[in-house]
Amino acid sequence: MILPVIEVEHYTDSLFRFRTERPQTYRFNAGEFTMVGMPKSSISRAYSFTSGPGDDYLEFYSIKVPNGPLTSLLQHVKPGDELEISDKPTGSLTLANLELGGNLWMFATGTGIAPFISLLRDMDTYSAFDHINLCWTVREIADLQSYNAFLEEMSEEMNLTYFPTVTRDLTFKNHGRIQKFIDLDWWFADTDPNKDKAMICGSIEFNNDIGGMLKANGWSEGNRKSAGTFVVERAFVG
């Protein structure tokens, strides 16, 4: 369907978000993605919603790739322009694909934070778990500005612990990859898939590393056919 853009915000030279109108009949689950493209173009890409299921707009978070077939055009959209948004959302990072209860661990890199923003804008996520831990790794401090304020606010108001890390800026309090701060031997010794759950969205290497370690330690990957103790979004990289 063709939807008008209502808001655009640029954070850095490589990151921005955009919103479109949302028809009353448009439905999606928190954590899902859909295909986004330019009208009259055959090129579309998968984008996770950052808006919550109850919001009256559709919001997406994107990198800017100067020579990218889609993002080279998408980064120039402004309010009043139109985008083609698929009305068939899907995805792995939903509560329906995960066994509920206990503690939830969310692991994200880069724009892989997007589906978690959607989930954390949905109050059902907080009620489904005793506590939620969000670990988000980016390259530069500026990369956090998109959703940092929202995440800090939710960590004060809800059962959420927010732990951002930065890999390239030595001045940030948490410098390095997530793996630097979480001793995985300790983490697996202290967690139990019977009471802990995990969601993963990031680069292919990150997804494979974390997902592979979870499987090796007895965790089961969930999908649309069967809920598991962890889920990974494999449709795109962040």
CATH code where residue 49 lies: 2.40.30.10
pLDDT tens digits, 175-220: 767 766 666 666 777 888 889 999 999 988 889 888 888 888 889 9
Lowest mean pLDDT among 41-55, 108-122, 167-181, 185-199: 167-181
pLDDT at 238: 40
Amino acid, res. 206: F
In a domain, 146, yes or no: yes
Output the pLDDT for position 178.
74
| Res 15 pLDDT > 60 | yes
The mean pLDDT value for 111-139 works out to: 96
CATH code for position 111: 3.40.50.80
The answer to whether residue 214 sits within a structural domain is yes
- The pTM for the full model equals 0.93
Q: Which of 85, 110, 133 is a domain's end point?
A: 85
pLDDT for the residue 153: 96
